[in-house]
Structure 1
Amino acid sequence: MPRHHLRRTTALALLATVPTTLAAQETVLLDTLFQTLGKRDLQLGTPVTSTVVDATEISDRQAGTIGELIDSVPGVTLINGSTPQGSGINIRGWGANGTFGNDQKIAVVVDGARVGSEELYRLGSQLFTDPFLYREVEVFRGTIGSFEYGSGIVGGVVRLETKDASDFTDGEIGFRLGQTLQFSSNGNGAVSSTTLTWQPTERAEFLANYTIRKQDDMQNGEGDEIGNSSVDQPSWLAKARFTFGDDDAHSLTFSTTSSVNDESDVPQNEFASVSDLFGRVDRRRETQQASLRYGFNPGNDLINLTADLTYARESIDQTYLEGSSAFQDNPFFGPQIRALADADHNYTTTTFALKNRALFETGVWSHNLLVGAELQCRVREENELNSRASAPGGIDNRFALVLIDEMTNGGWTVTPALRFETSDVTSDDAGDFYNEALMGGLGLAYEWDNGFSVFASYAYTEGLAPIDDIDTPDRMEQSEKSETYEIGAGFGNEAVFMPGDNLSVRLNLYHMTTWDITSYTQPGSVTNLLDNVEQRGAELEASYGLENGLYFDLNANFVDGEENYAGGGSGDWRNIPADTTRLTIGKRWDEMLDLSWEVVAVGEAPRFSTGEESDPYTLNNLRATYVPQSGVFEDFEVRLGIENAFDIDYRSNLATKDGPGRNVKLSISKVF
């Protein structure tokens, strides 16, 4: 194709009812990707606002957490994102905050399994996993791309795909060994990631990865220690894939991951750098995920069947350290502090999803019809300490039906999407609560042959009451509701200003209203009860490259929002992120060398915890990737990164800890 613009045939299949197989997901993504000359390809010709971070960018960013892989995506803001503990992901002002690691309005999905979705007081995100396990991360922003993953998703979805054996074997028979060593100056960090793959036949492949990450406490730009920022985390991944039957019509993929984080004598409040009234604890976290996927595609346009069985288990074991809180004997605070510090949290999520995709035509319209069903059982351990620690136990059984019909005619794409979901939440102490909701949206897109495209969408979703609210019966009978309008335009083409250049731009505007909110209201509170939250934002992604290897990438996010109170009055939305503009200037010399300079400008924004404005700041990040093409070091990959090169002292408006100062990172990789 002369423009490298891979024209879509299933542009909105990203709204598919249940997680598809890896091969199917890649096909859908490529249908809407415009290949740039910069670091990241852009999604064009679709109203679904999503960004893909591929394997090359994952390696180049040398991230220490999953959050650091996606913090360059417009609309994504990290809460203390440089270490797993006390951190979280915020998308369009929803998700993590300074009190909970998740508010149920963003979803994190690993190979189809929902993880890190618990509202645990002062414990941050449960997304404890290592970036070295993953080959691709995709971020959906807003609601229109989220119906595949659940109800009530206002902020967006982070979808992670684990590495495949074929990423190392390139489809060739035999064994491959991949080894990466990484070192960082701030905190004396060290990482070793070892991957062994085996492809005995063209129809079978196996992968095993073990990654160990260690780091001492980091320092901020003033040279002061950032407490509670050390890491000692082993992770592993095992994966197998088989194809069989006539024309390989059947496929079976199994993957499982595990990460463990042990901490001794650390603040119970993970959002704190030093001890506070909550005292200190010994804490052990363990996160496990397993996914079994079956695909059947006999070559019939009416049958493309996929079935997914996933399981996620997350546990947090804590022991309070006696005498660590000055308030432990206080008659009011003491019992609550002990409950928070001694509570052990164990929860599992099991999901079975089945879907079929059918391709057919009616008159001038081509249809891509997806129909599916999903069963999910989420269990959180019930005990007195958990309830007193604002994490009551129970069982949440859900059933969902989804129907998506993508209709195309020439440059037009019209896609209605519907999701019907029921929820049955039970607890031995609180009883049984049943809720149901019908939600959906409509996406429109038009694309001209010259590379211009326009799009618009409307989406409505309801967040059915979670286990977290089961101790408050009034909340269990009320769903949180939201609607989002989006409109935008894109462009992608070659030879725009001169022969051999490449330009792509995507601008997205959105307006979102959320009401019947219970997530940010304390039980029994009678002041500042939220009536609704209104948000407006703009997200820009652009890339321009020249034939000589020079490229410019621009990502920007501008957002405004206010919360309105039931008793009258309003204020800035408490989780509003700061406006951010990120410019990368780079130069490539074929496949051997890539040098880039990234400038991140962050504006001031209201800080809810203090009522004051956060200070604006600018970060400078330098990166170099060197891959020798001949000689004794052929195919070695050497990466050097200098983050916060000018060692400035900063803290984002949503963070509770200072950001790290200058950090020099060096990594060496080789596949044998």
Structure 2
Amino acid sequence: MTGRNPLRAVLLGSCAFMFPHMALAQDGNPLLLDTITIESKRDVRTDTATAVTEIDQEEIDDRQAGTIAELIDSVPGVTLINGSTPSGSGINIRGFGAGNTYGSNQKVLIQVDGATQGSEELYRLGTQLFTDPELFKSVSVLRGTVGSFEYGSGVVGGILRLETKDASDFTGGEIGYRLRQGLSFGTNGDSITSSTILAWQPSEDFEVMANYVWRRQGEQDDGAGNNTGDVGFKEPSYGLKAKYSFGQDRDQYVSLSYTDSTIAERDVPYDAVAGLPFGNVDRDIRSRTLVLAYGWNPAGNDLVDLSVNLSYADQKIYNAAIGPGFPLIDADHRYETTKLTVKNTAHFSIGSVGNELRAGAELIFKDRLDAYAAPGGKDNRIALFAIDEMDFGNGFTLTPALRYETQNITYKGTNPRFEGEYDNDALMGGISARYEWQNGFAVFASGAYTESLPIMDDFDRQDYESGGNIINYMTTTEKARTWEIGASHRQADVFAADDAISLKANLYKTHVWDITSEPDVSTADMKGLELEGAYSHATGFYGEISANIVDYTSATVDGVWRDYYAQTPADSARLVLGKRWDRELDLSWEMVASKRYDRGDVDAAIPGTTVHNLRATYRPATGILEGTELRFAVENLFDKEYKRRLATRNAPGRNIKFALAKTF
């Protein structure tokens, strides 16, 4: 506990820095502030009680990530299980989601343009987020439960929402076309990536874009020069997107987006997570997402802002054993999810209270191929949700949320032991409250309850016996309750004229029971502190800080409490310092530190570590290179040998990256 206290003191001291401003707002005459913009790489969402972090296009370009996991590992509360390869990696948020056995579970939700990706508990194959970061313009990471009810059920860790690029991002809404070509290289694994984007806008009403990405990465070495144990990969991906606006004042639109990624791995270990000796396979992976969307927001009608989203997500994993194999490693997996979401946002007032009511319905149809250790079947659901953001006009907002979901799940295969049809439903919801003073200081609190309905993986765990009790997993829902409290502050002219700061601290406590997705765990309690901050000055200097401190306990199925939880991440902190010269040159240093983890007997102790990264971006404003973007980065600057907590292999050693892009 000694090593934990100094970091706690620093973070709590940061919170204390914000609290005196509350008294100033009460005692003095408050002054309404203009919008305050923080000119750092990543701002802090101080306008909401939800714990959410947004990564925009500029940061996506800046990070030069090879996988989605690598792109979000700097978000507080997010921990990677490996992460440098699309297969065998996993995303863990607040201790939930990926582990070293299954790459995912329903406690972490992943969406691409609103399409829900499969969160299947496939044995030792990773998260199954097989797509390329270059296809996307923004990524939002929502942590916890309270903001999840319009997206799904059973969310305890959080939600990862990805949005694909639009043609107008490159044309600027002007008629004509733009061609953007990018090339990037990395020394560790001899990686090379080519990204080609053609954006065409023939009229103000119609835009279309084609995006092709080809990425290759070889085997990487750790800081000691040894192979990390991952396998190299080639991942061609492409995306197509079109949007047509019409109606009075162009108040309606129809859009279509499609993404397609493929990976071919030859003679690789079946166990993509830890490389255990199950045998080798040839593995082919394909991930496709198709989304058709309609929107209508008539001018002068605050009661109608309608969106209709029809999506189809299809993931295939085909394994062919090399030499003698057994059913586990010779199995093929395919999971298809079709979803229709109809949502309307209405703005109205009741007395002096303004309301933003988001209400809708979802039809969800999941179909999964039957495979060894991964039962197939159909999981059909209907959901209704409503979220009302109530603004009382004096800085106080109250946001209740409800979601009701009903399910019919059936086995589809040849194993008579799994045969059955089950119906389940759940009512869940939460409420958040936020009060903001006129000087930019705010406090907030929330409480939320959610349930995860049984999934097809539970077919092979039905009628499980524990302590003399028979548990039918197909009629048992996982349940979770989370409480959060925090404060945020945004202010200009803090330390000097023309500077700005944004801070947010969030304390949470989560209790999960009737756990069915973790082996030998029935109950888990966790509490944590997340901190985010950003600072910038008109001279171009900027800084960012984030941290995550956690404390977990759990109980076995026999009711024995332990002072650890298998998926507990290590305490961590991140610091960024940089300087910009207008839009031309941006230099930054990033430090990422994690505390030693030695609780419990789930694995050997993981030493604490500190890793340094350097980044530079140059955008010439004149001359022959005008319109060109050059990026240079050094990750793991001192070539440190280390392994992250929860990872099954060492992290990559020093990696020097260079990227060149130009828009014509």
| Distance (Å, rounded) in 1 between the aligned partners of 2:173 and 2:522 | 56
User: After superposition, what is the alpha-carbon deviation per residue over 1:478-512, rounded to whole angstroms, capped at 9, x for unaligned?
Assistant: 10000000000000011112110111100000000
Note if contact 1:34-1:44 (Cα within 8 Å) is conserved in structure 2: no
Note if contact 2:566-2:602 (Cα within 8 Å) is conserved in structure 1: no
Matched, 1:247 2:249: yes
Counterpart amino acid of 2:382? F
Number of the residue aligned with 2:529: 538
Unaligned 5+ runs, structure 1 = 1-31, 329-337, 522-528
| Distance (Å, rounded) in 2 between the aligned partners of 1:264 and 1:571 | 42
Shift, 1:551, TM fit: 1.0
Matched, 1:601 2:593: yes
Note if contact 2:80-2:92 (Cα within 8 Å) is conserved in structure 1: yes
Q: 2:391 aligns with which of 391, 408, 412?
A: 408
Give the match's secondary structure for 1:56.
helix
Number of the residue aligned with 1:171: 173
Number of the residue aligned with 2:555: 564
User: After superposition, what is the alpha-carbon deviation per residue over 1:186-238, rounded to whole angstroms, capped at 9, x for unaligned?
Assistant: 01110000001110000100000110001110000000112333121100000
Shift, 1:530, TM fit: 2.4
Counterpart amino acid of 1:434? D
Query: Aligned residue pairs: how many?
Result: 614
Shift, 1:608, TM fit: 7.0
Shift, 1:568, TM fit: 2.4
Note if contact 1:45-1:454 (Cα within 8 Å) is conserved in structure 2: no
1:256-295 equivalences under 5 Å are: 256-273=258-275, 276-295=276-295
Give the match's secondary structure for 2:403.
strand
Give the match's secondary structure for 1:43.
coil
1:196-595 equivalences under 5 Å are: 196-273=198-275, 276-299=276-299, 300-323=301-324, 338-382=326-370, 386=371, 389-410=372-393, 411-428=395-412, 429=416, 430-473=419-462, 474-521=472-519, 529-565=520-556, 566-595=558-587
1:32-51 equivalences under 5 Å are: 35-51=37-53
Shift, 1:606, TM fit: 3.8
Shift, 1:86, TM fit: 0.6
The 1:193–1:609 alpha-carbon spacing in structure 2 relative to 1, beyond 3 Å, is: farther
Note if contact 2:96-2:567 (Cα within 8 Å) is conserved in structure 1: yes
| Distance (Å, rounded) in 2 between the aligned partners of 1:446 and 1:390 | 50
| Distance (Å, rounded) in 1 between the aligned partners of 2:116 and 2:599 | 30
TM-score of the pair, normalised by structure 2 = 0.91
Shift, 1:471, TM fit: 2.9
Number of the residue aligned with 1:26: none
Note if contact 2:564-2:599 (Cα within 8 Å) is conserved in structure 1: no
Q: 1:112 aligns with which of 111, 114, 138?
A: 114
| Distance (Å, rounded) in 1 between the aligned partners of 2:113 and 2:501 | 32
| Distance (Å, rounded) in 1 between the aligned partners of 2:246 and 2:551 | 52
Number of the residue aligned with 1:334: none
Counterpart amino acid of 1:424? N
Give the match's secondary structure for 2:76.
coil
The 1:553–1:217 alpha-carbon spacing in structure 2 relative to 1, beyond 3 Å, is: same
| Distance (Å, rounded) in 2 between the aligned partners of 1:189 and 1:608 | 38
Counterpart amino acid of 1:495? D
Unaligned 5+ runs, structure 2 = 1-33, 463-471
User: After superposition, what is the alpha-carbon deviation per residue over 1:81-100, rounded to whole angstroms, capped at 9, x for unaligned?
Assistant: 11112101100000111001
User: After superposition, what is the alpha-carbon deviation per residue over 1:368-394, rounded to whole angstroms, capped at 9, x for unaligned?
Assistant: 112210000000013xxx1xx321000
Shift, 1:409, TM fit: 1.1
Q: 1:82 aligns with which of 77, 81, 84?
A: 84
Counterpart amino acid of 1:183? F
| Distance (Å, rounded) in 2 between the aligned partners of 1:296 and 1:615 | 54
TM-score of the pair, normalised by structure 1 = 0.90
Counterpart amino acid of 1:56? E
User: After superposition, what is the alpha-carbon deviation per residue over 1:250-299, rounded to whole angstroms, capped at 9, x for unaligned?
Assistant: 111110000000000000000124xx330100000000001011001112
Shift, 1:169, TM fit: 0.5
Give the match's secondary structure for 1:591.
coil
Note if contact 1:575-1:608 (Cα within 8 Å) is conserved in structure 2: no
Shift, 1:45, TM fit: 2.9
The 1:131–1:34 alpha-carbon spacing in structure 2 relative to 1, beyond 3 Å, is: farther
Note if contact 1:484-1:513 (Cα within 8 Å) is conserved in structure 2: yes
| Distance (Å, rounded) in 1 between the aligned partners of 2:533 and 2:422 | 47
The 1:440–1:246 alpha-carbon spacing in structure 2 relative to 1, beyond 3 Å, is: same
| Distance (Å, rounded) in 1 between the aligned partners of 2:613 and 2:197 | 29
Q: 1:102 aligns with which of 98, 101, 104?
A: 104
Counterpart amino acid of 2:355? H
Number of the residue aligned with 1:661: 653
Counterpart amino acid of 2:531? L
Deviates more, 1:543-552 or 1:93-102: 543-552
User: After superposition, what is the alpha-carbon deviation per residue over 1:319-359, rounded to whole angstroms, capped at 9, x for unaligned?
Assistant: 11115xxxx6xxxxxxxxx1111100011000001111111
Note if contact 2:50-2:142 (Cα within 8 Å) is conserved in structure 1: yes
Note if contact 2:563-2:599 (Cα within 8 Å) is conserved in structure 1: no
| Distance (Å, rounded) in 2 between the aligned partners of 1:291 and 1:607 | 44
Shift, 1:116, TM fit: 3.7
| Distance (Å, rounded) in 1 between the aligned partners of 2:94 and 2:425 | 26
Question: How much identity, in percent, do the aligned residues show?
Answer: 49
| Distance (Å, rounded) in 2 between the aligned partners of 1:187 and 1:568 | 45
Shift, 1:133, TM fit: 0.3
| Distance (Å, rounded) in 1 between the aligned partners of 2:499 and 2:654 | 35
Deviates more, 1:157-166 or 1:538-547: 538-547
Shift, 1:610, TM fit: 4.9
Give the match's secondary structure for 1:237.
strand
Note if contact 1:254-1:291 (Cα within 8 Å) is conserved in structure 2: yes
| Distance (Å, rounded) in 2 between the aligned partners of 1:368 and 1:620 | 44
Note if contact 2:280-2:322 (Cα within 8 Å) is conserved in structure 1: yes
| Distance (Å, rounded) in 1 between the aligned partners of 2:636 and 2:36 | 30
Give the match's secondary structure for 2:328.
helix
| Distance (Å, rounded) in 2 between the aligned partners of 1:447 and 1:659 | 42
The 1:610–1:436 alpha-carbon spacing in structure 2 relative to 1, beyond 3 Å, is: closer
| Distance (Å, rounded) in 2 between the aligned partners of 1:268 and 1:246 | 56
The 1:191–1:608 alpha-carbon spacing in structure 2 relative to 1, beyond 3 Å, is: farther
Give the match's secondary structure for 1:291.
strand
Counterpart amino acid of 1:161? E
Shift, 1:103, TM fit: 1.6
Note if contact 1:102-1:119 (Cα within 8 Å) is conserved in structure 2: yes
Matched, 1:629 2:621: yes
| Distance (Å, rounded) in 2 between the aligned partners of 1:166 and 1:607 | 50
Counterpart amino acid of 1:489? A
Note if contact 1:581-1:601 (Cα within 8 Å) is conserved in structure 2: yes
Shift, 1:33, TM fit: 9.3
Counterpart amino acid of 1:307? V
Counterpart amino acid of 2:442? S
The 1:399–1:649 alpha-carbon spacing in structure 2 relative to 1, beyond 3 Å, is: same
Note if contact 2:268-2:281 (Cα within 8 Å) is conserved in structure 1: yes
The 1:608–1:671 alpha-carbon spacing in structure 2 relative to 1, beyond 3 Å, is: farther
Note if contact 1:314-1:348 (Cα within 8 Å) is conserved in structure 2: yes
Shift, 1:609, TM fit: 7.7
Give the match's secondary structure for 1:82.
coil
| Distance (Å, rounded) in 1 between the aligned partners of 2:239 and 2:598 | 41
